[in-house]
Structure 1
Amino acid sequence: MAPIDLNLVHPIYNPHPGWAEELVHYYTLFKEAIPAETIVHMFVVNDGSKTGIRSEDIDLLKTSVSGFTYIDSPVNQGKGGALRDAVRLTTGKYVIYTDADYPYLIENAVEMYRLLSVNAADVVVGVRDEHYYDQLPLGRKIFSLSLKVMNYLFFPQLKVKDTQSGLKGFNQKGKEVFLKTRIPAFLFDMEFLVLASRRTDIRIQWIYVKAREGIVFSTMRAQTILTELANFASILFSGNR
């Protein structure tokens, strides 16, 4: 059997000290848990960070990861925009993206890869269990739960109503859909799944994901919430693309 090419994509923005060492650690755990013949190439995309990224960090990744590409975006465009920049450059059969601090259990990413590798789906989505929300700051928890309710009300065709987990994977058909997204920040995930759900030829599967021990989630500013509500409306009233 020919080896399978997998691309891992990690966006970063003003990361905390030690982020590169953490990324190498979790990447190594992931590599050890998947078939040895899998060819893995990592993409790290810097979304216009002002602090936190040193040349030593990039050098560490280059020497520790056998296949590595660093994309340095000078402007902060939002996570969605940064991910699209990286995904356009991927050449692997499968793509999985998640934050560089691997906020979910390694087993979740491994299961996502397994489903893709056996051709069980074109898009695999991480769905957060009820315990996940207990770990979120209050404002972010309210927004996330409210968004799920809004998805049930306004997007009944969505095959997965929890659209915002930061762990998703897809094959080349899914990549084509992902690159049609336009929203720069938080709701690009939702836009992706809305577009995928409109396609009858796209098979979507989901897995439960759990936050790893010790992860700290950021808060959401009021302005961010208002911006994303406007993005929600733009998705609601958009047509097929």
Structure 2
Amino acid sequence: MGTNRNLTIILPVYNPHEGWDKELLHSFPRLKDRFSDIDYCITIVNDGSTTNVENTIKNLILPYHKNVYYSGYRKNMGKGFAIRHGLELSSSDYYIYCDFDFPFGIDALREIYEILAAGKTNLVMASRNFFSIYKKLPFWRCLLSLSLFIINSIITRFRVKDTQAGLKGLDNKARDVFLTTKTNSFVFDIEFILKCLKADLKYSFVKVVPNHNIKFTNFGLKVIKRELINYSKIMLGRK
């Protein structure tokens, strides 16, 4: 993974649903088509899954796709940690991280890459119309997402409203900032964005619409409490 490439796509995975491997394999031809003109690779990070993820990747994916790399560890650390781990292993001109099921489609990744390659921005963020997706969200996740949408808009002085889309593109300046973050869980994005704003990095947005068949996971009260604590730590750590 040390070879310098045009683009590395980082896909964190934790206990994915049944059939996830078929969905991922189905996406590879589309990725190859949309990025046929550049040198890119995919890094899958197994964030301590307790299911048979490692064997699936090593036996069904890696032998047939030479530009796909794998790394994993035993303990579940959180999505922020997984992405940080993937970035540490990678050396590219640009990086994109997103969920393994590409919830906003492959074209959104290409659009992000084009903006980064133009050399005028350090960070590209996917931006959703929250009110167009809230009906699809389970109750507790909807409550948390709406709260973050409102609070983060105020904290960033309405420069960034949607911090949680889960799809972002980085150049190496933004990568270096991400590697200084400490948050591992759901709210890791806001720490990263606040650090980028403080560093005066240039940023832009890509409007995205979730795939019609996307399924959002729910959050229980225990997770909500944990994320509120993590969010408070981020806010208290701001200078």
TM-score, length of structure 2 as denominator length? 0.92
Q: Output aligned runs, 1:196-211, within 5 Å.
A: 196-200=196-200, 202-211=201-210
Q: Match of 1:169, SS?
A: strand
| Aligned equivalent of 1:180 | 180
The letter of the residue matching 2:143 is I
Give me the CA root mean square deviation.
1.7
Matched-pair contact (CA < 8 Å) for 1:122–1:203: yes
- Secondary structure, counterpart of 1:134 in structure 2: helix
Quick check: 40-49 or 231-240, which moved more?
Answer: 231-240
- The size of the alignment, in residue pairs, is 235
Which position in structure 2 is the counterpart of 1:19? 20
The answer (yes or no) to whether the contact 1:11–1:44 under 8 Å persists in 2 is yes
Bigger Cα displacement from structure 2, 122-131 vs 58-67? 58-67
Task: Name 1:153's counterpart in structure 2.
Answer: 154
* Contact preservation (8 Å) 2:5, 2:91: no
Which residue does 2:133 correspond to in 1? 132
Q: 1:118 to 1:234 in 2, by over 3 A?
A: same
Distance in 2 (CA, whole Å) between partners of 1:37 and 1:111 is 14
Equivalent residues of 2:97, 2:167 under 8 A apart: yes
- Amino acid of the structure 1 residue aligned with 2:65: V
Q: Which runs of 5+ in 1 are unaligned?
A: none
Q: State the Cα deviation string for residues 40-82 of structure 1 (Å, max 9, x = none).
A: 1111111111114152432222133221221111100111111
Does the CA contact (< 8 Å) of 2:21 and 2:56 recur in 1? no
With 38-47 and 227-236 compared, the bigger mean Cα shift is at 227-236
| Bigger mean CA offset, 229-238 vs 58-67 | 58-67
Q: CA deviation at 1:31?
A: 2.5
Query: Which residue identity does 1:53 align to in structure 2?
Result: V
Partner of 1:40: 40
TM-fit CA distance, 1:132: 2.3
Query: In the alignment, which residue of structure 1 is the partner of 2:193?
Result: 193
Q: How far is 1:4 from its partner?
A: 5.7
CA contact (8 A) 2:153 2:159 kept: no
The change in CA–CA distance for 1:196 and 1:55 in structure 2 (over 3 A counts) is: same
CA distance in 2, matches of 1:199, 1:54: 37
Q: Describe the superposition over 1:87-144 as per-residue Cα deviations: whole angstroms up to 9, x where unpaired.
A: 1011111110111111112221121111111123110001112322221112111211
CA distance in 1, matches of 2:208, 2:10: 18
Contact 1:24-1:65 within 8 A present in 2 as well: no
After TM superposition, the score normalised by the length of structure 1 is: 0.91
SS at match of 1:45: strand
**2:122 paired residue number:** 122
The AA in structure 2 aligned to 1:227 is: R
- Whether the 8 Å CA contact 1:4–1:93 is kept in 2: the answer is yes
What are the residue-to-residue correspondences of 1:34-113 with 2, within 5 Å?
34=35, 36-53=36-53, 55-113=55-113
Unaligned runs of 5+ in 2: none
CA-to-partner distance for each residue in 1:159-212, whole Å, 9 max, x for gaps? 312100110110100100111111110011111101101112x11111111111
Q: Which amino acid aligns with 2:198?
A: R
